Structure formats: structure tokens, C-alpha cells
């Protein structure tokens, strides 16, 4: 953030302003500039003179949730350990020495040359959304949405009798254009009332909920009933989907229709919480209440693997080569960010013409040394200071390579989890990397018995 020329700090860090303890006026010029952390939610700060008024209307105030679907932590698979001095601490060189070889071994033994790496590129277009695409100057989101919606169509899930449950819905943009795609497919005459259930933990402004209904009117839908659009404000970890209170998930009298879970960029832990939420629902539905719709498909655009959490990830699929504790999993997640952290223009990998080896202690070795690091010789040069100063002592390209391998490993655990629960799962590159670096979606369909 920028700061005023007359201020020492930007607005975010004015809370660090040193206040004069001898100021007689509580609203002296210094105190008027100072900010403190909001006592309701410490993620933001407030000007001291505004504090009392702000607390009364802070949007982050915890609401007492009384809805039937609210079951605290129902979708967590394990308990987070108590905070320790090592938790969230910077990764040390010794820890890199331990976990980088783990990544290499796991990737080479379980993933390399399998469907987890040989993902097809299927950047599809949906002709019903061409008008919207033509109207936009920044087309990347529309391209992604069109490809995801076309993917649903390709596997037979783009049906008006289905209920589309959008997790991490945000404004509900994906659902909005999915509704337009349905109108196009059925030539404005859907045989069932389109149904959308939007789930997000924040109360979004500028939502598209009402526009989904208005679009049907504007596009000339001939169905007598407007689309059903219901929003649940919930943290997915606390969502018991079987207790959804709008009856959208009840099976129609003719027995048609199912639940299609969708999301465009569901961050790390939210993806795993969503999968667990859906599996909890499906288990209950199959064992106890067949009056509810079955889960007929899951399509999640994956992202932000560095935000996966120990309490929600199916860790049992990664323990073949050793136990992974909370700290180990935290390190793996951080390593995944290397794949997409981005190079600065001045950063280059070291050239073979200016070699400098790093030995296992992290010290520079002579250029003719045979020392190896994590199984490969590490090459460095003075023109790339990033290679010399990074605590891992790995080059940029090497870190990127490790990052992509960790991404594949984390996705592998999710795929195995769904396969063991009766799904056929595929990882698809749904757009080119030039559109988005986060370009992989998970598509899961129940195996037909």
C-alpha cells in the first residue's frame, strides 16, 4: 500500500505509530492518525477516534448461527495440534534437506508417468456464452467459465433437472452463466426449473443471485417458474448439507435430477472441506434417506494448494514413505507455492559457465567439488543473487520443479480419496497456462454399479 508523503506509515500500518503518553488531549493529532487492531476481528485496523462506533457495526462480528445445517467442524477429518514454537516458523535448511527428497521419492514412485502428470488440455468453448465473451475486454474469467461449463456438458451433467451447488460461490458468477448456458441448451424452454444453491462464508456485495432470475426474463425463458436461487452463508467446515433447509436437495416425485457440485477456484483447505462435506452427505443419503438427490458429479477448479490444512486434507494417502506430522504437512504446502510464485524479470538460473556448488551444510564449495544437494548438483552464479541467498540453496528453476511436483502430490491424495469412495476421477487442464497458471480442474463422477 502507498502512504501519504506527510505520513510515516501507510494506512494498514498506522497502528504502529508511536503515541505520546504525555499528550493531554486524547484526540491529539498523533492519536487522530493512529490505528489499532479491531477487537472484533484483528485482521483489520481502525482509527482510534472511530473505534467505539466501529465495534458496534463491524461486519466481522460473529453471528450466532442457529440454522439446522450448522454443525461445528463436521467436515474436519482431524484435530489441529496445539500451537508450538515451530508452527508457522520459517523453514530451515535442515527441513528442506528432509522434505525435498521425500517429494522426489514420492513423485518418482507414485506419480511420474501416470494420469496425475499426463493431464489433457481441454480448453472448450460454450457457444451460448459467445455474446458475453465478445462484450468483455478482459476475457480470461469468461474463457475459464465457458470451458468449465462445457466440461459439464461433455459428461452429461448440464441438465436442467439437476441442482447445481456452487461452493465458494463469491458473487455467484459461475452459476449465473451456467443458467444462461442451460437456457441456450434447451432453446429457452427448460423442462425443469433450474435450481442453484450458492455457498460462501462471506456476505458478498454485488451478488448475482437476483441477476440469475433476471437473466431468464431478459433472455426470454418460456418456463413458467423462475430459477430457484438460494444462498447459504456458511464456513464449509461447519456445513451439514443433508440439513439444507430450502428443500432444494429433495428428489422430485419423478425421481429425476441430482446434485452437481461446482466451483471455480476453491482455495486449498476449502476444496478438501467441500469433498468431505459431499461425502458425508452422500453416505447419509445412500444409507438413510433416498428421498434426497444423489450426488451425480463434482467439478472443482483447483487452486492455492499452499493453503491446504492439516485438519482437512486426506493425509493417509501420502504416508507410504514415512509419517507426516503437522509441521511436515505445513512445509509441503509451502513448497507447493514455489510452482507459481513468479520470477522477477532480473532473476535467471545460474549458467554452467559460472559454477558454484553448495554443500550439505549450506556453505559454498569449490567449483570442482563433487558434493550433491538433494540428489542433484546445484549450479549457481553471482548474477543470480536469489539462488545464493534463498535458504534452500536451490535455483529458481529447481524450486519451480519441486513446487509443481508437490502440487501433483497434493492432487494425488484428493483423487485417491474420491476413487476409494466410489468415483471415477480425472484431472483436466481446462485452460491454457497463458489464461491462468491455476488451470487444473478435478472432475469426479460416481462409478455406475
Residue range 395-414, pLDDT digits in tens: 888 999 999 999 999 999 99
* DSSP state for residue 110 in the 8-state scheme: I
Question: Domain check: are 53 and 131 in the same one?
Answer: no
Same domain, yes or no: 42 and 170: no
Q: Domain total for the chain?
A: 2
**Residue 205 pLDDT greater than 80, yes or no:** no
**Are 139 and 269 contained in the same domain?**
yes
> Between 132 and 310, where is the model more confident?
310
Confidence at 383, pLDDT banded by 50, 70, 90: very low
Residue 378, pLDDT > 60, answer: no
Rounded distance, CA 312 to CA 167, Å?
16
Q: Among 370-374, 426-430, 444-448, which is the least confidently predicted range?
A: 370-374
How is the beta sheet containing 163-167 ordered, strand by strand?
Answer: 228-233, 195-200, 163-167, 259-267, 295-303, 440-446, 423-429
pLDDT over 50 (residue 133): yes
Q: What is the average pLDDT score of the chain?
A: 83
Q: Are 71 and 276 in contact (CB under 8 A)?
A: no
Pairing of β 163-167 and β 364-365: unpaired
Task: Examine the pLDDT at 127 and tell me if it is beyond 90.
Answer: no
Region 48-77: mean pLDDT is: 84
Same domain? 40 vs 144: no
**pLDDT value for 357:** 32
The closest of 344, 343, 339, 347 to 385, measured between CA atoms, is 347
- Together in a domain, 311 and 442: yes
Q: Are residues 132 and 37 in the same domain?
A: no
CB 221 within 8 A of CB 237: no
User: What is the average per-residue pLDDT within 375-387?
Assistant: 42
Using CA atoms, how far residue 336 sits from 215, 305, 340, 412, 426, in Å, is 40, 6, 8, 13, 20
Burial of 261 per CB tally in 10 Å (0-12, 13-18, 19+): buried
Which pLDDT band holds residue 153 (cuts at 50, 70, 90)?
Answer: very high
Query: 166 and 262 share a domain?
Result: yes
CB 208 within 8 A of CB 176: yes
**What single string gives the DSSP state of each residue in 217-277?**
HHTT---SSPPEEEEEE--GGGB-GGG-TT-TTBPPTT----EEEEEEEEEHHHHHHHHHH
Instruction: Give residue 379's pLDDT band: very low, low, confident or very high (50, 70, 90).
Output: very low
What was the pLDDT predicted at 16?
A: 55
> pLDDT-based confidence at 20, cuts 50/70/90?
very low
46 domain-assigned: yes
- Look at residue 301 in the predicted model and tell me its pLDDT: 96
Q: Residue 163 belongs to what H/E stretch? A: strand 163-167
Q: Are 42 and 153 members of one domain?
A: no
DSSP per-residue string spanning 358-412: E-TTS-EE-TT----BTTB-----TT-HHHHHSTT---HHHHHHHHHHHHHHHHH
Question: H or E segment at 296?
Answer: strand 295-303
Q: Is the pLDDT of residue 138 over 50?
A: yes
**pLDDT, tens only, 161-191:** 999 999 999 999 999 999 999 999 999 999 9
Q: Is residue 108 in a domain?
A: no
CB 128 within 8 A of CB 185: yes
207: which residues sit within 8 A by CB, 6+ positions away? Answer: 171, 172, 231
CA distance 397 to 374: 14
Range with the poorest average pLDDT among 16-20, 68-72, 188-192, 403-407: 16-20
Q: Is residue 397 part of a domain?
A: no
User: What per-residue confidence (pLDDT) applies to 44?
Assistant: 77
Give pLDDT, residue 297. 98
> Is 90 exceeded by the pLDDT of residue 45?
no
pLDDT reported for residue 152? 96
The answer to whether residue 409 is domain-embedded is yes
Which residue's C-alpha cell is 444453491?
A: 197
| Spatial distance between the Cα atoms of 373 and 278, rounded to a whole number of angstroms | 43
Q: Are residues 307 and 415 in the same domain?
A: yes
Counting residues of the chain whose pLDDT is more than 90, the rounded percentage is: 56
Q: Would you say residue 395 lies in a domain?
A: no
Contact of 301 with 144, CB cutoff 8 Å: yes
Q: Tell me which of 7 and 115 has the higher pLDDT.
A: 115
Residue 117 lies in a domain: no
Residue with cell 440454522: 67
Tell me the three state secondary structure of residue 10: coil
Residues 33 and 133 grouped into a single domain: no
Strands 295-303 vs 259-267: parallel, antiparallel or unpaired: parallel
In a domain, 329, yes or no: no
pLDDT of residue 387: 56
Is the domain of 185 the same as that of 263? Answer: yes
| pLDDT given for residue 359 in this prediction | 33
Q: What is the mean pLDDT of residues 299-328?
A: 94
Domain hosting 28: range is 11-57
Give the residue, 443 or 54, on which the prediction is more confident. Answer: 443
Domain assignment present for 231: yes
Q: Are residues 176 and 285 in the same domain?
A: yes
CATH classification of the domain holding 419: 3.40.50.150
Within the chain, how many helices (H) and strands (E) appear? 11, 11
Across 291-317, average pLDDT: 95
Amino acid at each position: 500500500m502507498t502512504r501519504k508523503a506527510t505520513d510515516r506509515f501507510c494506512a494498514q500500518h498506522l497502528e504502529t505509530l508511536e503515541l505520546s503518553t504525555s499528550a493531554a488531549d486524547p484526540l491529539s493529532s498523533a492519536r487522530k492518525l493512529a490505528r489499532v487492531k479491531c477487537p472484533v476481528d484483528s485482521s483489520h485496523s481502525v482509527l482510534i477516534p472511530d473505534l467505539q462506533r466501529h465495534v458496534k457495526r463491524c461486519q466481522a462480528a460473529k453471528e450466532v448461527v442457529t440454522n439446522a445445517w450448522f454443525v461445528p467442524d463436521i467436515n474436519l477429518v482431524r484435530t489441529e495440534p496445539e500451537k508450538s514454537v515451530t508452527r508457522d516458523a520459517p523453514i530451515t535448511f535442515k527441513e528442506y534437506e528432509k522434505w525435498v527428497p521425500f517429494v522426489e521419492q514420492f513423485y518418482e514412485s507414485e506419480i511420474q508417468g501416470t494420469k496425475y502428470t499426463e493431464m489433457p488440455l481441454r480448453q472448450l468453448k460454450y457457444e451460448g456464452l459467445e455474446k458475453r465473451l465478445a462484450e468483455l475486454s478482459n476475457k480470461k474469467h469468461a474463457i475459464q467459465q465457458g470451458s468449465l461449463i462445457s466440461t459439464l456438458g461433455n459428461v452429461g451433467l448440464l441438465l436442467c433437472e439437476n441442482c447445481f451447488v456452487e461452493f465458494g460461490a463469491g458473487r455467484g458468477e459461475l452459476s449465473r452463466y451456467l443458467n444462461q448456458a442451460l437456457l441456450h441448451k434447451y432453446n429457452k424452454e427448460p423442462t425443469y426449473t433450474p435450481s442453484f444453491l450458492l455457498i460462501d462464508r462471506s456476505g458478498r456485495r454485488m451478488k448475482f443471485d437476483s441477476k440469475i432470475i433476471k437473466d431468464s426474463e431478459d433472455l426470454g425463458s418460456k418456463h413458467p417458474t423462475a430459477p430457484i436461487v438460494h444462498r447459504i452463508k456458511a464456513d464449509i467446515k461447519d456445513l451439514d448439507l443433508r440439513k439444507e433447509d430450502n428443500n432444494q436437495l429433495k428428489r422430485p416425485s419423478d425421481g429425476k435430477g441430482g446434485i452437481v457440485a461446482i466451483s471455480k477456484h476453491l482455495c486449498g483447505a476449502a476444496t478438501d472441506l467441500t469433498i468431505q462435506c459431499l461425502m458425508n452427505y452422500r453416505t447419509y443419503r445412500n444409507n438413510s434417506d433416498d428421498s434426497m438427490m444423489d450426488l451425480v458429479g463434482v467439478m472443482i477448479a483447483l487452486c492455492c494448494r499452499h493453503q491446504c490444512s492439516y485438519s482437512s486434507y486426506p493425509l493417509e494417502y501420502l504416508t507410504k514413505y514415512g509419517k507426516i506430522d503437522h509441521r511436515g504437512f505445513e512445509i509441503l504446502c509451502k513448497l507447493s507455492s514455489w510452482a507459481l510464485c513468479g520470477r522477477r524479470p532480473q532473476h535467471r538460473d545460474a549458467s554452467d559457465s559460472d559454477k558454484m556448488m553448495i554443500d550439505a551444510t549450506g556453505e559454498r564449495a569449490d567449483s570442482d567439488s563433487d558434493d550433491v544437494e538433494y540428489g542433484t548438483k546445484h549450479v549457481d552464479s553471482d548474477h543470480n543473487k536469489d539462488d545464493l541467498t534463498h535458504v534452500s540453496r536451490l535455483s529458481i528453476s529447481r524450486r519451480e520443479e519441486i513446487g509443481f511436483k508437490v502440487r501433483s502430490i497434493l492432487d494425488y491424495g484428493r483423487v485417491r480419496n474420491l476413487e476409494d469412495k466410489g468415483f471415477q476421477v480425472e484431472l483436466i487442464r481446462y485452460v491454457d497456462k497463458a489464461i491462468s497458471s491455476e488451470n487444473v480442474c478435478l472432475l469426479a463422477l460416481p462409478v455406475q454399479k
